[in-house]
Chains A and B, each alone.
Chain A
Amino acid sequence: MNIGPTIKVAFRALRRNRVRSALTSLGIIIGTAAVIAVLSVGQGAAVMIQSQIGSMGSNLLLIFPGSMNNSGVRSGSGGQQSLTVADGETIARECPNIVALSPMIRTGNQVVYGNNNWSTSIQGVTPAFSRVRNWNVSSGDYFTEADVRTGARVCLVGATLVTQLFLDENPVGQSIRIRNIPFRVIGVLEPKGTAAWGQDQDDTIVMPWTTVRRVLQRSPFSNVNNLLVSVASAEDIATATRTIGAILRQSHRIQEGSDDDFTITDMAEIAKTITSVSSLMTLLLSVIASISLLVGGIGIMNIMLVSVTERTREIGIRMAVGARQNDIMLQFLVEALTLSLLGGLIGAGLGALAANVVSRVNHWPVLVSVQSIGLALFFSSAIGVFFGFYPAWRAARLNPIDCLRHE
């Protein structure tokens, strides 16, 4: 039998029982919509995580001072003051794969402007920081190497400070006070948003590290909280990690066999972990959503069995005029497939819509990909064929005489 009339017959049979067909499809519609929505939100989350990791700076390595062992009492990681700005300079000079490197000295303080004050974090860095963190100013200018050498009382403010401290005035050129020391604001940092771990990255002040150490902390030392290193490409990360380790062990005169007094963390590694956790969650939710697709398939099987019983006489007539078993089977399979595929299409539309609503309401990025829609349609048709098979097979195996006598 040719496929054209078969499809026509299937559509006619489904139209004859509109409500029943719609209700049967509903299971598939809900299942497909759920799968699409979950996949879209999940893929959106993956994109968001990646962009946040990207906003950390590309191919970033963090070097922390190691833990300290003082007469058996061990401090945590970063407890030692072994890592210095000079170490950074050595690494930048000797390690070939490095694009940019900045020391980081962290502190926090109350900041005053006019009648307002605000507690924020203060990061002491070098101008290379903008390259390492991929973080430029939206207005004003970055401070210079000369500012670092002299410990100039200049600073850059994050976007959150502009709203909280300056009440949306233009802060460039204004003077703020930290510990009663006046600092001139020379630039505003581009907004970077919330980090993957929930911290507001824009709630910060950035200034030369020398200014933090000498002016704010009145300390002569140049040990750092960490060193930020940007490596040329992702392939170079492993080599760079080894090279930096060797350089630091040599300059810190660490004996063969004794522990490092520093730790090197690869941000790409962390990114991978977070991404794999989020894709695991997506997978888990998709599996749950697929179960409703499966239940929808059982609904199709149920209704197809009813349909075969109702149309026994029709089957008999078709057999009498020459329909083979395969012709009958194909007819019912096409009917089941039509139900599930229509359900799949409507479900895909609703799922994409739901995903967009979620993105509007929660301000999540949502990615409705062609692959996820293709996958959902493939599965809904597979379910149609799978659950339509048994009723179709039963119809095909009927005896024509019994069918013709059927009332």
Chain B
Amino acid sequence: MVIDIQQIRKVYRVGEVDVTALDDVSLGVARGDFVAIMGASGSGKSTLLNILGCLDRPSSGSYRLDGIEVSGMGPDQLANVRSRKLGFIFQNFNLLSRTSALENVELPLLYGNPIGHAARHRKALAMLERMELGSRVHHFPGQLSGGQQQRVAIARALVNDPAVILADEPTGNLDSRSSNEIMKLFQEVNAQGLTIIMVTHETDVAAFARRTLQMRDGRFI
């Protein structure tokens, strides 16, 4: 199991009221799996993805990522985990504007265990070429189409050789053609052995995954 969560709870305090976003959720994901998590907004799927992504910490429960217990870690340890084990893909791409595609892809290589300038450049360039963006490495995000921007984001997520890719509505801002393209890309990298967990609310997007889980009111159903 690359991801193994046991009885994760997440409780937010909104004013005087405690809101339970995740209610004793358990999930195991094997290496090489491609899981789609579906559910209405407010079902807790984004909260779960944030916890899986080590961006947020659970209120209680255990989370083992690639064999390491991460639920009790502090901010810097979590940053190290994100740097070494995880790649993120967001609905709105979250690329740095006025920064070239190449430098965006180089970004994860600046943190954790920094490598030399030349090696950074080479790795980022290779990854962009794999995403068929070899001719657009010096373009700014604003000069790229949505699909191209998401491919830059995928290159950024993959450049550090992560154990798991976490995608939050990766096709939410794309037209259907680009969506298909991106999902085919997902299947391709998944076929090469990469674990992917994706949150979506579109059934035809979820259909690209190996299995689909439904969430409602902070639980899997």
Contact = CB atoms under 8 A, between A and B. Distances in A.
B79 A323 contact: yes
Give 3 nearest A-B pairs by CB, closest first: A322-B83, A322-B111, A321-B108
28 contacts: A1-B110, A2-B110, A2-B114, A4-B117, A12-B98, A12-B99, A314-B96, A319-B55, A319-B79, A319-B82, A320-B94, A321-B82, A321-B83, A321-B108, A321-B111, A321-B160, A322-B79, A322-B80, A322-B84, A322-B111, A322-B160, A323-B111, A324-B75, A324-B80, A324-B111, A401-B50, A404-B55, A404-B90
Contacts, number: 66
A326 interface: yes
Contacts of A314: 96
A363 interface: no
Given A326-B76, A401-B56, A321 B117 contact: no
A1 B111 contact: yes
B107 interface: yes
A257 interface: no
A313 interface: yes
Given A16-B98, A404-B94, A321 B76 contact: no
B112 A322 contact: yes
A401 B55 contact: yes
A400 B50 CA distance: 10
Interface in B83-141: 83-84, 88, 90, 94-96, 98-99, 107-108, 110-112, 114, 117
A400 B110 CA distance: 17
A200 interface: no
A326 B108 CA distance: 15
Given A321-B88, A325-B79, 10 more contacts: A12-B99, A316-B94, A320-B53, A321-B82, A321-B83, A321-B107, A321-B156, A324-B79, A324-B111, A327-B111
A62 interface: no
A318 B103 CA distance: 12
Interface in A301-318: 313-314, 316-318
A320 B112 contact: no
Interface in B31-87: 50, 53, 55-56, 75-76, 79-80, 82-84
Contacts of B114: 1-2
Given A4-B117, A325-B76, A320 B55 contact: yes
A317 B76 contact: no
Contacts of A313: 94
A400 B111 CA distance: 15
A401 B117 CA distance: 29
Contact of B108 (A322, A324, A400, A404): A322
A317 B79 contact: no
Contacts of A326: 76
A322 B55 contact: no
Contact of A317 (B53, B107, B117): B107
A5 interface: yes
B167 to A, nearest CB: 13
B33 to A, nearest CB: 22
A198 B136 CA distance: 75
Nearest to B75: A325
A363 to B, nearest CB: 53
A327 B113 CA distance: 12
A323 B54 CA distance: 13
Nearest to A316: B94
A320 B82 contact: yes
B66 to A, nearest CB: 15
Contacts of A325: 75-76, 79
A194 to B, nearest CB: 62
A313 B95 CA distance: 10
Contacts of A319: 55, 79, 82
Interface string A383-407: 0000000000000000011001000
Contacts of B75: 324-325
Given A314-B96, A400-B55, A401-B55, A324 B110 contact: no
Nearest to B120: A5
Contacts of B110: 1-2, 5, 323, 327
A12 B53 CA distance: 30
A400 B55 CA distance: 6
A402 to B, nearest CB: 10
A2 B117 CA distance: 10
